[in-house]
Structure 1
Amino acid sequence: MKMYPSSNNDGMPHGSNQSDLSSYAADLLEREDELYQEGVKQVQTYKDIEYRINKLENQDERDVMFYRYIKGFKWWQIAQLMDCSEEWIYKLHGRALKKIQIN
């Protein structure tokens, strides 16, 4: 009898009653498909937002929306970048939101 049995540290699952990894592989494929579909939906949402921003006629409104929703800037950063007050940025943002149709 061995006093110190060796252990297998290869990172693979061991010791289950299952003879193969088919259910694990099926679960993994299902999760990969879910993640892919989520990514596709995010890209579609991004493109929709970008399209709606580009339809705005006023350049300042487009800029505020672009910097906020595409670039992810904070309000103070947008104000600094556009060389105006945060209050004016809020007004431009509000005007733009009224013009954008969101379903």
Structure 2
Amino acid sequence: MQKWEEIEQKKEYLKGYIKAKNREALIKDQIQQLRLDTMFPALQGDGMPRGSSQKDLSDYTAKIESLMEELKKEWVESVIRYERIRKAINKMNDEQEKEALTRYYILREKWKEIKNKMGVSEAKLYRIYDRALENFEIL
């Protein structure tokens, strides 16, 4: 694999942190909505109560529980993914490289903010970032 391909692969891996955190938030919202749906199954979107048999409610509750279990598994996978990325960054030896990757990929800061907080020029920040990507190891 060529060097630039390896760097691009590392960037995509690091972007996985943001994707995993976004996925986690979406899953939490879905679980919350399912909990509300479970509490008030007889109400539809228009707010009007509907009659239904006990069997219908049991089937509905079972489907909701099954869906919640699937979402919880996805949630755990997302947490594992972003924790793995965070650990890989923290394993790095150079503090500036670690800080640049953490601020950019985990804290989602803009380059201008990062250079100001790190107290370096923009050119120096990009050199630190490039070196960080070269030294970063995917776990």
Q: Which TM-score tier does this pair reach, normalised by the shorter chain?
A: 0.7 to 0.9
The match for 1:51 is 87
What secondary structure sits across from 1:20 in the alignment?
Answer: helix
Give the direction of change, closer, same or farther, for the CA distance of 1:42–1:20 in structure 2 (3 Å limit).
same
Q: Distance in 1 between matches of 2:100 and 2:50?
A: 56
Structure 2 counterparts to residues 90-101 of structure 1, below 5 A: 90-101=126-137
Identity %: 35
Q: Distance in 2 between matches of 1:29 and 1:60?
A: 46
Larger Cα-atom Rg:
1
Q: Distance in 2 between matches of 1:72 and 1:87?
A: 19
Are positions 1:79 and 2:115 aligned together? yes
The number of residue pairs the alignment matches comes to 94
The match for 1:22 is 58
Name the aligned partner's letter for residue 124 of structure 2: W
Q: In angstroms, what is the RMSD of aligned CA positions?
A: 2.4
TM-score, scaled relative to structure 2:
0.57
Structure 1 unaligned blocks of 5 or more: 1-9
Structure 2 unaligned blocks of 5 or more: 1-41
TM-score, scaled relative to structure 1:
0.73
Shift of the alpha carbon at 1:16? Answer: 6.1
Shift of the alpha carbon at 1:61? Answer: 0.2
State the Cα deviation string for residues 1-53 of structure 1 (Å, max 9, x = none): xxxxxxxxx72662568852222212211221122112111211121111111
The match for 2:104 is 68
Task: Name whichever of 13-22 and 60-69 sits farther off.
Answer: 13-22
